[in-house]
Structure 1
Amino acid sequence: MYNLAKYQKLKNKINRIERAELGFFPTQIYKLENLSARYGVNIYLKRDDLSGFSTFGGNKIRKLEFLFGEILEQGAQNIFTYGATQSNHALQTAIACRRYNLNPILYLVDVIGEGIKDPKANILLDKVLGAEIKIIEFKENEDEFEAMYRAKAESKNYAQEISESEDDYYLIPPGGASPLGTLGFVNAYLEMKAQEFKEDLNFKNVFHATGTGGTLGGLTAANKFINDDIQVHGINVSHKDDSYLKEVAELSTAALNLLGIDFKLSDRDIIVDNNYVGAGYEIPSTRANRAVKIFAEDEGIFLDPVYTGKAAAGMIDYLEKGKIEKGSDLLFWHTGGTNALFAEKKILGNLLDNHI
């Protein structure tokens, strides 16, 4: 049973942090009746895909509210961030910039090797928004993380070149996964707990997609600090080694420290499953595409092949293998990203195959 006093302490402290207004919260939670009947578990959906003032919401809005609170206080005009060419985070950063009349500069790694000659989905919307786009192509024997680090170094040089002082620019890490951005999902966990209490629910498990770690870090930080008994499962969408657990634990700890809370998480506190990545990031998998179709055909809910599809594949596999207690309450956190359904064919894979 969670500690109510710690819940209130965390809520009071986080409410003192400056933030921008970018989303419509709380996002709705409701039961997926057909999937619940299929698996004998009470499956609920948290609709963070409907979080933003723009049509294209998602989990990054929560992080950006805290990051833009600092950006607006600093008075920065040039806002830099990073991702793949179909990055949800980059798009949402550009949207937030336009909300506050700031200049979005996006460094995007061409993970799938398609370039932007025929822009689709997020990269198309980035261009409609008038964002300044820098495409980062892979060098020989370079992986996506190395390319991203190189992009960060290049962007710092460019930021200094176009700015009169350091206050004129702000560098947002990939996915908004900084201690400040992570507070968005510390707060999100508290929001979920309030809804759980109001609706007389008792979640035993929460499933979501994890990439850069800010969402997982924030949810786990709040979960462990208030001593909750919910299992927070991060289903990985890209290949990572065991150092990822330490990185997320450090991010969780740093987020709580920002609030003046002396509480340390370890890698043993972080629950991550790497079994549903498939071949790699932005590479479709049959299991993820099957999950996308199950959600669509059973509930009329759209997921995507890159993030939520892989998270749902993990959740469905747990359900089908009997790893989740029958009759228990389970939450699937929809983190957005359905724009990827309109992306390049390389990202969609065999989604339209009737036999998956």
Structure 2
Amino acid sequence: MDLARFPRRRYTEAPTPIEHLPRLSAALGGPDVYVKRDDLLGLASGGNKTRKLEFLVADALAQGADALITTGAVQSNHCRLTLAAAVKEGVACHLVLEERVPGSYSEDASGNNLLYRLLGADSMTVVPAGTDLAGAMEEVAERVRSAGGTPYVIPGGGSNARGALGYAACAAEILGQTFDSGLALDHVVCASGSGGTHAGLVAGFHAGSAQIPLTGISVRAERTAQEEKLHALAGGVLELAGLPGDLPREKVVVRDEYVGPGYSLPTDEMTEAIQLFARTEGILLDPVYTGKAAAGLVGMIRQGELAAGEKVLFVHTGGAPALYAYPDAALKVVS
């Protein structure tokens, strides 16, 4: 997959490391677990959205935009990183925050909400769950145009075909790193939310002819709907890159049994996974995305789906700033 023809801003100087987690592996008594440290990507506190923004912000600047507009939940890592990219590029940033859980927005909240204020968002519009977010962003864009500005609208999570190129590039990066180190992976596990990360990895592995099974742990959507959405998005990534978009349907695998009662709502499995990673390897996960994805990883190991002797890569997509908005969930005692 030749991505050099796409404009790209580089917010991280080097590939993020792949680390072996021997203490976590021993605690789980299953495969050797490795982690791709995309929590160490550039911009404010890092995370997977940085890879997507490298392509999206470059496209915005190429079009002469002077304002970025995007959307996410009230503790959105994507909104934090889009705002950080806007600050770095010297352009405005307007956020549309969806209160997916009623009563969850607080102007004085910690976590990412604190960082929205610290980084200086030009505006924050809070809307209830179920709002037409594309329409809400277009209203903000029209206000920017009326004031003489040039807006660029980025979908939630940066998860369109152009944004997902960031994780097609990450797939190539993983394949290069594992080749250089002689690490033959048997499985990859990632969070599956807005879909750009999961779909980009699917497209990138497919383009690289890698036969590594990839499982996305849903943090919100039902499995069938999520798989259909991601299959279409991954096909769109391949077509944008000039490759045939006839991606086999079975390449897209989603598990939805770790969502719990809903998006961003804590589960005991998530809390246990957060504590396991923290207390065995000193790695911080977040309750919304990586905590539930890690719960899926742990569940697959305990159920024997990922066996002893295998080598499994967990893609750490960041999100630690949101951890501070959920102290009770992180520190809860679970049996």
TM-score by length of 2: 0.95
Structure 1 pair 160–353 and aligned structure 2 pair: CA distance change class (3 A): closer
Q: How does 1:21-100 map to 2 (within 5 A)?
A: 21-38=10-27, 39-54=29-44, 56-100=45-89
Structure 2 distance, partners of 1:152, 1:95, is 22
- Structure 1 position 177, deviation (Å): 0.3
Q: Distance in 1 between matches of 2:105 and 2:30?
A: 45
Residue in 2 aligned with 1:224?
206
Distance 1:238 1:132 in 2: 29
Contact 1:208–1:233 under 8 Å retained in 2: yes
Q: 1:349 to 1:137 in 2, by over 3 A?
A: farther
Deviation of 1:99 after TM superposition, in Å, equals 0.5
Q: Is 1:277 the equivalent of 2:259? A: yes
Contact 1:236 1:274 in 2 (8 A): yes
Code of the residue aligned with 2:275 in structure 1: it is: K
* Distance in 1 of aligned mates of 2:105 and 2:6: 39
Residue 213 of structure 1 aligns with which residue? 195
- Tell me which of 159, 165, 170 is aligned to 2:152: 170
What residue number does 1:255 align with?
A: 237
- Out of 298, 301, 314, the residue aligned to residue 280 of structure 2 is 298
Does the 8 Å CA contact 2:69/2:94 hold for their aligned counterparts? yes
Uncovered stretches (5+) of structure 1, i.e. residues with no partner:
1-9, 139-143
Deviation of the 1:21 alpha carbon: 1.9
Aligned counterpart, 2:224: 242
Contact 1:248 1:267 in 2 (8 A): no
Post-superposition offset of 1:165: 9.9
| Distance verdict in 2 for CA 1:353–1:211, change over 3 Å | same
**Which residue of the partner structure matches residue 330 of structure 2?**
351
Bigger Cα displacement from structure 2, 182-191 vs 218-227: 218-227
**Counterpart in the other structure of 1:321:** 303
- The one-letter code of the counterpart of 2:191 is A
CA offsets per residue over residues 258-297 of structure 1, 9 Å max, x none? 1111232254321100010011111011100000001111
Contact 1:225 1:263 in 2 (8 A): no
Amino acid at match of 2:109: P
* 1:153 aligned partner, one-letter code: G
2:246 aligned counterpart, secondary structure? coil
Corresponding position of 1:6: none
Distance (whole Å) between structure 2 residues aligned to residue 50 and residue 214 of structure 1: 18
Match of residue 268 from structure 1 = 250
Deviation at 1:329, TM superposition (A): 0.9
User: Structure 1 residue 247: deviation in Å?
Assistant: 1.4
Residue 226 of structure 1 and its aligned partner are, at CA, apart by 2.7
The Cα of 1:135 is off from its aligned counterpart by 3.4
Say whether the 8 Å CA contact 1:46–1:333 is kept in structure 2: yes
Post-superposition offset of 1:354: 2.9
Q: Structure 1 residue 132: deviation in Å?
A: 2.7
Instruction: Please name the residue that 1:115 is paired with.
Output: 105
Q: Matches of 1:295 and 1:339 in 2, distance apart? A: 16
- Structure 2 segments unaligned to the other structure (5+ residues): none
Partner of 1:5: none
Structure 1 residue 167: Cα displacement: 8.2
Which letter maps to 2:265?
I
Q: CA RMSD in A?
A: 1.8
Q: What displacement does 1:224 show?
A: 2.1
CA deviation vs aligned residue, 1:215-272 (integer Å, no higher than 9, x gap): 0100001222333221111000013352321211111111111111123225432110
State whether residues 47 and 319 of structure 2, in contact with CA within 8 Å, keep that contact through their aligned partners in structure 1: yes
Per the TM alignment, residue 298 of structure 1 is displaced from its structure 2 partner at its CA by: 1.0
Name the counterpart of 2:168.
Answer: 186
Contact 1:19 1:65 in 2 (8 A): yes
